[in-house]
Amino acid sequence: MSEIASLSEKLDELIFWTKFSVLSTFSVLLKDALRDDTDKLVYELSDGNRSTREIARLISKGGRKITHVTVANMWQKWSLMSLVMPARRRGRYRRVVSLESLGIEVPSTEVIHEERRESNE
């Protein structure tokens, strides 16, 4: 095994155990921050690729009212709490972990259903 491969393997293990050690604390913090279904949808749709306008449009299509400014404000607040991370595209954010992986139910929307279908194919 090359030295780089060995270092990469050790780094992956370190990352795993670091995430594992803070998971319960992070889960409690996230549950407290996500007050309602709209918050949960904004968080879950924050993949680093979607803009504030896209997220607001997708959620509004489902019957909930939200503006792109509200999404931007949520991202700023969550960023200060380390619940989201800056994405590669400037001004966008991505969730740290999916809600489902923490056992938090994601509200039903057509967008979420489509993503689940695509990931299962």
Strand partners, 93: 86
Region 84-91 average pLDDT: 94
Beta strands, E only, the chain: 84-86, 93-95
Question: Looking at residue 21, what is its pLDDT?
Answer: 84
Q: How many C-beta neighbours within 10 Å does residue 18 have? A: 10
What residues have CB less than 8 Å from 89, skipping those under 6 apart? 48, 49
pLDDT at 112: 61
Write down the pTM of the prediction: 0.78
pLDDT digits (tens, 9 = 90+) for 18-57: 888 888 888 999 999 999 999 999 999 999 999 999 999 9
Find residue 94's DSSP bridge partners. 47, 85
> In one letter, which amino acid is 32?
D
